Structure 1
Amino acid sequence: MASKFGEKIRNLREQKGLLLREVAPLLNIDTPQLSKIERGERQAKKEFIEIFAQVLDIDIDSLLKLWLADQMYSIIKEEPLAKEAIEELTNVFNESK
């Protein structure tokens, strides 16, 4: 599965007409690393989210949600009971409100 976070970053970057080589230095990474993040082959560091939000002019919370979803998916994607675990976690969150 492709990274929803990476797809969003790539789409926003392209909409703004920014090149990989323009954005990567802002994150202190090289262009191939940013390309891998966009393709879902590498996970972005959490500290990148604020930079992406500023550069791409998007709400930081929406990016954080996508980033967290990708993080969770990468942990549980191979687990046979992943969907059931997510349902259980949802119940826990709902009960704690």
Structure 2
Amino acid sequence: MKLGNRIKELRESQGLLQRQLSAQLEIDTPMFSKIERGERRAKREQVLKIAELLKVDTQELLTLWLTDQVLEVILNEKQALQALKMAEKDIKNKTK
């Protein structure tokens, strides 16, 4: 939902309509609306295109997109924080 909120905020601040962006993404407006509301996940390629269209840093939107994906997988798990800490450790070790 973080990604959807940010997309909506950026879109509105630039005076764009959902139908304008959905046309550029080659998806229908209801699907774009679901992405903004967090009811549907955008594809990575769509996130890149949205960043381009809204003239925003790609990394910002990709980070929000990935955060939403991680949250969807672990949100209701009791061991979520422990798992995130372990994953962080593994990521740090692999990027050395």
TM-score of Structure 1 vs Structure 2, range by shorter chain? over 0.9
Distance 1:6 1:18 in 2: 15
Q: Secondary structure at the match of 2:44?
A: coil
Residue 49 of structure 1 deviates from its aligned partner by 1.4
Match in the other structure for 1:65: 63
Count of matched residue pairs? 95
Matches within 5 A, 1:1-97: 3-96=1-94, 97=96
Return the offset for 1:32: 1.0
- Please report the TM-score for the alignment, with normalisation by the length of structure 1: 0.91
Identity %: 43
Deviation of the 1:75 alpha carbon: 1.2
Q: Distance in 1 between matches of 2:62 and 2:32?
A: 17
Cα drift, residue 29 of structure 1: 1.0
- Secondary structure at the aligned position of 2:27 is classed as coil
